[in-house]
């Protein structure tokens, strides 16, 4: 096994925390490929009810949305924070406080959304929160575009990996996310996540059915690309089989950029395309498949990035648009 990534503050001096390995002097105030300096920046911290049932449950997931992202997906729905720079600077100790505040609001877990370009501070904040009494599992909600050595370095920090696997085709990944290496990077990252969960004792559910340790692999079906979606499932099945839960999503919503460009990405996913991918998942043998009911295509899946909960505790969102388990598996 290769060495773990150094997650000390020195990692920001010449940043190689993500697969871009841009080498930016983030500690000196220069933005990396993720769009962020070393200043920890958060856009929202609140209960979130739109994840898979083992993550959101009835109480909600304690989601903390970080600003910046190493990917540049043309269809991104979170562009305000992924590339728009919205968010407030916070200290590592304040991040730990947010985790404890979400626990106090009844969250099932602490859900860190796109956090790993801030991996050193994130790990430190979780340690601080746990020393202060945090008892919730920690979820890492990631695009899947992560270095395997960073995943390994967080093995004792993250309990649940909620990871995307967006593409199997390098050309498609390059065209839509500027990352032709995405399929191989995501494969290596998922392998490291599997190693982490296995070493910790494998998948574990709480008495209420919530996921306390494990992996959920998410895949968003893109209009016109059901063939690549099936190839993604082939990759995931070959690597992980039923060691992971699978979440197949139909919530693709064209943003303004995609609507202007036209073509397949200017429309929603059809029922036929979605069913092709779900049937392929069934045929492969996935036992735990999460799927979405029709009519879920909406920008309402995107929360209001308004710094809720960043300065202090605030009210959560109301439940909306649940993700359901695939029937007959």
**Residue 29 counted as domain residue:** no
**Residue 217 counted as domain residue:** yes
**Residue 301 counted as domain residue:** yes
Residues of the chain predicted below pLDDT 70: 1-3, 294-302, 312-329
Per the structure, how many domains does the chain have? 1
Determine the pLDDT at residue 79.
Answer: 83
Look up the domain containing 206 and give its range: 44-311
The rounded distance, in Å, linking the Cα atoms of 307 and 65 is 9
**Residue 324 counted as domain residue:** no
**What confidence tens digit (pLDDT) does each residue in 99-151 have?**
999 999 999 999 999 999 999 999 999 999 999 999 999 999 999 999 999 99
CATH code for position 62: 3.20.20.70
**What confidence tens digit (pLDDT) does each residue in 159-186 have?**
999 999 999 999 999 999 999 999 999 9
**Residue 297 counted as domain residue:** yes
The rounded distance, in Å, linking the Cα atoms of 36 and 123 is 18
**Residue 50 counted as domain residue:** yes
Global model pTM greater than 0.75: yes
| Residues above pLDDT 70, as percent of the chain | 91
**Residue 329 counted as domain residue:** no
**Residue 141 counted as domain residue:** yes
């Amino acid at each position: 096994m290769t060495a773990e990534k150094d997650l000390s503050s020195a990692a920001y001096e010449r940043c190689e925390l993500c697969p871009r390995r841009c080498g930016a002097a983030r500690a000196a105030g220069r933005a990396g490929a993720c769009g962020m300096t070393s200043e920890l920046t958060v856009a929202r911290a609140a209960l979130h009810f739109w994840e898979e049932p083992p993550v959101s449950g009835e109480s909600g997931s304690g989601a903390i949305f970080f600003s910046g992202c190493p990917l540049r997906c043309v269809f991104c729905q979170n562009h305000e924070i992924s590339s728009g720079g919205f968010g407030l600077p916070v200290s590592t100790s304040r991040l730990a406080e947010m985790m404890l505040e979400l626990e106090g609001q009844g969250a099932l877990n602490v859900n860190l959304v796109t956090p790993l370009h801030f991996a050193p501070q994130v790990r430190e904040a979780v340690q601080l929160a746990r020393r202060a009494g945090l008892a919730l599992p920690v979820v890492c909600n990631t695009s899947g575009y992560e270095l395997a050595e960073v995943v390994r370095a967080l093995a004792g920090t993250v309990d649940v990996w909620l990871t995307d696997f967006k593409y199997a085709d390098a050309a498609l990944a390059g065209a839509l996310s500027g990352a032709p290496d995405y399929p191989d990077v995501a494969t290596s990252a998922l392998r490291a996540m599997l190693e982490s969960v296995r070493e910790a004792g494998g998948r574990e559910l709480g008495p209420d059915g919530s996921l306390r340790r494990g992996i959920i692999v998410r895949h968003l079906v893109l209009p016109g690309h059901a063939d690549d979606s099936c190839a993604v499932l082939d990759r995931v099945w070959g690597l992980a089989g039923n060691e992971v839960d699978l979440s197949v999503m139909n919530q693709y919503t064209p943003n303004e950029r995609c609507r202007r460009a036209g073509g397949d990405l200017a429309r929603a996913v059809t029922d036929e395309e979605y069913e092709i991918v779900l049937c392929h998942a069934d045929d492969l043998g996935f036992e735990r498949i999460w799927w979405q009911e029709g009519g879920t295509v909406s920008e309402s899946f995107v929360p209001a990035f308004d710094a809720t909960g960043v300065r202090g505790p605030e009210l959560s969102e109301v439940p909306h648009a649940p993700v359901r388990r695939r029937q007959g598996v």
